[in-house]
């Protein structure tokens, strides 16, 4: 791919955002190693994106930093004290655990107070519809049996010869 086409294709932006496939990532890194123009464009794009994100950053609420430091406890404070400029360094972040430990002592589900009547109403209505469904099922079943019995009786009476006395 020519340098101009490579620069206008949008792959560098995708590479910076981390949304390229492994194959495309290897290709971009190979081109960066060989083409100084592409490397300069990548550095320029990175600077522009960083400035954009810094301009449009939303500051966190005031108490968040204190809460985070409180949750970190002593180990987090020691790490920060040993390297006060750690937030400026571009080091890879340590891998995050795939789960969060949660201790729960309550075994009951808590629901908003307005949902409780709705749950009760749905439960009661489901029982009513269940009883009505069973009632009509058995009623239709007995009516079908009655119809079958009446048909058999009419066929039996129709097949019997009539005795007319005249």
- Say yes or no: 42 and 72 in one domain: no
Nearest-angstrom CA–CA distance, 131 and 142: 17
pTM higher than the cut 0.85:
no
- Say yes or no: 9 and 46 in one domain: yes
- Say yes or no: 121 and 152 in one domain: yes
Nearest-angstrom CA–CA distance, 94 and 162: 101
Is 104 inside any structural domain?
no
pLDDT tens, position by position, 4-29: 777 888 888 889 888 999 999 998 88
Nearest-angstrom CA–CA distance, 144 and 99: 59
What is the number of structural domains in the chain?
A: 3
Is 101 inside any structural domain?
no
SS3 3: helix
- Say yes or no: 46 and 72 in one domain: no
- Say yes or no: 7 and 52 in one domain: yes
Is 162 inside any structural domain?
no
Model confidence at 112, in pLDDT bands (50, 70, 90)? confident
- Say yes or no: 51 and 71 in one domain: no
- Is the torsion defined by CA of 127, 128, 129, 133 positive or negative? positive
- Is the backbone of residue 103 left (phi > 0), alpha (psi -120 to 50) or beta? beta
Domain, as residue range, for 32: 3-58
Nearest-angstrom CA–CA distance, 76 and 79: 5
Is 165 inside any structural domain?
no
Is 96 inside any structural domain?
no
- Greater confidence, 166 or 153? 153
- Say yes or no: 8 and 52 in one domain: yes
- Taking CA 118 as the corner, what is the angle to CA 114 and CA 120, rounded to the nearest 5 degrees? 115
- Say yes or no: 52 and 84 in one domain: no
- Say yes or no: 45 and 69 in one domain: no
- Say yes or no: 78 and 122 in one domain: no
pLDDT tens, position by position, 45-77: 999 999 998 888 888 787 887 888 888 775 555
């Amino acid at each position: 791919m020519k340098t101009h086409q490579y620069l206008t294709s949008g792959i560098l932006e995708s590479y910076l955002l981390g949304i390229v496939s492994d194959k495309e990532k290897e290709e971009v890194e190979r081109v960066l190693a060989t083409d100084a123009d592409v490397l300069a464009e990548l550095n320029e794009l990175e600077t522009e994106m960083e400035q954009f994100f810094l301009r449009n950053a939303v500051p966190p609420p005031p108490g968040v930093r204190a809460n985070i430091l409180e949750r970190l406890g002593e180990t987090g404070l020691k790490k920060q004290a040993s390297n006060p400029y750690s937030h400026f360094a571009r080091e890879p972040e340590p891998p995050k655990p795939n789960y969060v430990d949660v201790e729960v002592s309550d075994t009951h589900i808590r629901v908003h107070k307005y949902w409780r009547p709705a749950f009760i109403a749905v439960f009661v209505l489901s029982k009513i519809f269940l009883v009505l469904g069973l009632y009509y099922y058995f009623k239709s079943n007995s009516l079908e049996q009655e119809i079958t019995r009446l048909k058999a009786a009419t066929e039996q009476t129709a097949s019997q010869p009539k005795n007319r006395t005249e």
